[in-house]
Each structure stands twice: as structure tokens, then as C-alpha cells.
Amino acid sequence: MTIEYNKLKVRVNLDNLRHNLRVFKKLHDNVIPVIKSDAYGHGLAEVARALKGEAETFAVGFVNEASLLRRSGCEARIFALLGPQDEADYAALWDDRVLTAFGQMGQLEEAARLAQDRGPLDIGLKFDTGMRRLGFLPEEADEVVAFLKANPALNPVMVTSHLALADEPARKEAVDRQASRFSRAVDTLRGAGFDVEANLANSAGSMGHEACRHDSLRLGISLYGGNPYYGTEWAGLGEDLKPAMEVSAPVMQVHALKKGEGISYGWTHVAERDSMVAVIGVGYADNYSRGLSNTGQVNIAGRRAPILGRVCMQMCAVDVTDILGEGTPVVPGDRAWLLGGPGEGYISPDELAGWWGTITYEVFCLLGMNPREYL
């Protein structure tokens, strides 16, 4: 769902996406951009189009995302990580040429039944090596092989799994354990004569765990310039990545707030000095979290303006006393940057996520639901 009526603008720099992908291609020549959830809020079809020719495969989550992408004109291989959920999904595997990750015997049985009419199908297999969400256990690999041998219309071409702790450098041992459980599943399939692509690493796994790189990387958050090591130091390539999303909203009114006056619902901020405030046209209805009340900042003309009081449904107020005091004008119609923006006031995804009490993934997905424009 896109929020259509508001004044927020999300700007996506497609060159930065291409740049970030190329940074990861220094690690591996086969990088699969993960563009699920509307490309983490950056736009499914737009991002795929921008990366056309740069990647052989794109990954999405659900099969219906893959169908949307196929119908937008994408001709590359599309890998739906979450497997078929319903009848429409199964039909789309053939109709929209979707490769998906099967992780339960019931799914394989249904696909084998349909293949009798629909013909052969390339499939992916998902193994649960430690995330404990979806997939076969590596111990079940022999059973999977036996089923596939008995149902040759299903042709496994990809084996995947997801790392639970790749973003925590101190817990490398757990990543190694997952990698070795993954190898066990891959070896079983290859030992049975199946020529499968082994695909394990996400952004953090690609950067920090060479042993997880296998035949391809799945690049999600760092494609968008986000740091997967939230709360910890960047590892490896981090400093080369460029965030692609910037978000701004209009200044609606600028006025004085006298010392001792409260502002916004609940007067949770009371001015400690005679101040100047700018009212900004963004609020929680635009997915700008109410949790940013009294903690977040915006960037106006390259300078920081702290949020005063509660973030409301469509507005919030910020302190521009110091910006005006330096002689920089702030007037209605100016843009206030919630993410990115000019000069020293640049707000990084990590910083915004920190004030918000979340991770950059959620910041991108939520703010990205607003109207977007592309550079």
C-alpha cells in the first residue's frame, strides 16, 4: 500500500543502488539482489529495472511478489524465497516462470501432482539450518532426494538457507555451525547427482563470513546502503556503501514559542528558553513513528533541528532557534529532511533507526510506502 495524499517525498537514488551492487560484486560475481517487500520500500519494479543487466537473478519473498515483478517486464530469473502458499502461487510457478524455495514435503507433493499436467519445473529447496522458521532440516535431505528421484519432473537447481546471527561478529561459531549444516544438505543433493547452486549468505554473511559465500550472495539491506551490523561497527565493505533513500517533508509554519510554553499534545516539551519552532508536515500517518517524539531530529538546510514534543498524525514541530540565530532563514515551503539531506546535517539510516528504536530495514520499509521519486 502506498500513502498517496501526503506531502512526504521519498527520493531514491538508483545510481547508489548500482554502486552498492558493484561493491558486492568485488566479493562474488553472482550477486542476487533481494527486492522483497517492494524492494525494502525502494520500489520493486523500479529497482529491478535499474539493475537490469547487473544481476541474473532477483529474489523476492512471496510468490505473488514474483508474479508482480514478472508482469512488470522483468525477464531475469526470479527466486521467491518463501515458497508457494496457495493455489494461485502454484499456478504462478509455471505461468510466471517463478523459481521458489520448497521447504515442506506437502509443497513438493503438490508441485509433483501439478507437474503431471503442467510439465517439468525447476525448483529451489530451503533448509532450516538454525533460523527455525522455514525449511527442511538437513537431516531430511535424504528423504527429499528420494522424493525427487521418484518425481523427476521436479528439477532442483538452487539450495538455500538463512543465517540467524551473521550480523553479530561475536557469535561467529553459530554462523559456522549453520554453514556446516548447510553444506551437509548441499552435499547430499550433489551426491545424488543434482547440479544445485548453493546460496546462503545475506548482506552480513557476505561481508563477514567468507565461508558462507558459496555460489551466490543474497544482497538485501546493503544493496540499499544499510548497515546490517546495527549497533556494532561496520565490518568489511560498509564504508563503501551509499544509502539510496532520502526522505523530506515541507515546513508549514515558523513561529515563536515563549519560555515556559508547552507544545503539541500533552505539552511533553516545555520551552526552556524563548524559541523558534518550525511545524513540519509529517507524522505517524506517514509511517514516521510517534516513538520519535522528543528524540528524533530533522535536517533543515544542512543543520539539525530536534523534534519538540509529540509527533502527531500529520505534523511534528522542531526547534529552529539556533538555525535562525545563525542567519539561515527557515520559511514555509522549505524542505525538512527526515533521512539524508544536505551538508553536515545529513541523517544516516543508522541514526534515524537509533532514535526510532528499530533497525534500518524497518525504517526503509515504512518510509518507503510514501510517494517516491527517482534520481
Question: Residue 303: which of 356, 342, 259, 338 has the closest Cα?
Answer: 342
* Of the residues 218, 303, 310, 372, which one makes contact with ligand PLP according to CB under 6 A: 218
Our finding on whether 34 is near ligand PLP (CB under 6 A) is: yes
Closest CA to 23 of 240, 244, 235, 348: 240
Stretch that binds ligand PLP, among 92-100, 197-205, 308-316, 363-371 (CB under 6 A): 197-205
d(CA 286, CA 372): 13
Stretch that binds ligand PLP, among 1-9, 217-225, 261-269, 270-278 (CB under 6 A): 217-225
Partners of 199 in beta bridges: 160, 216
158 among the known binding-site residues?
Answer: no
Is residue 17 a contact residue for ligand PLP (CB under 6 A)? no
Is 133 among the annotated ligand-binding positions?
yes
Contact flag: residue 42 with ligand PLP (CB under 6 A): no
* DSSP letter for each residue of 155-179: EEEEEE---SSTT-GGGHHHHHHHH
70, 77, 162, 269: which one contacts ligand PLP (CB under 6 A)?
162
User: Is residue 87 packed enough to be buried (19+ CB in 10 Å), middle (13-18) or exposed (0-12)?
Assistant: exposed
Tell me the C-alpha distance between 101 and 65, whole Å.
Answer: 14
Stretch that binds ligand PLP, among 44-52, 104-112, 219-227, 328-336 (CB under 6 A): 219-227
- Among residues 100, 202, 248, 314, the one that binds ligand PLP under rule CB under 6 A: 202
Q: Does 203 bind ligand PLP (CB under 6 A)?
A: yes
Q: Which residue is nearest to ligand PLP (CB)?
A: 220
Task: Return the DSSP state at 61.
Answer: S
Cα 83–chain centre separation: 19
Question: Beta-carbon neighbour count of residue 177 at 10 Å?
Answer: 13
Which residues are within 8 A (CB) of 354 and not within 5 positions of it... i.e. 6 or more apart?
none
Least distance (Å) between residue 206 CB and ligand PLP:
8
- Does the footprint of ligand PLP cover residue 81 (CB under 6 A)? yes
CB of 325 to ligand PLP, least distance (A): 42
> Is 149 a known active-site residue?
no
Q: Which of 41, 156, 208, 220 binds ligand PLP (CB under 6 A)?
A: 220
213 binds ligand PLP (CB under 6 A): no
Tell me, yes or no, if 36 is annotated catalytic. Answer: yes
CB of 223 or CB of 320, closer to ligand PLP: 223
Beta strands in 98-244 (DSSP E): 98-102, 121-126, 154-160, 197-199, 217-219
Residue 374 bridge partners (DSSP): 12
Q: Which residues are catalytic?
A: 36, 265
Q: Summarize the annotated binding site as residue ranges.
A: 133, 313
Q: Summarize the annotated binding site for substrate as residue ranges.
A: 133, 313
Residues that bind ligand PLP (CB under 6 A): 34, 81, 162, 202-204, 218-221, 228
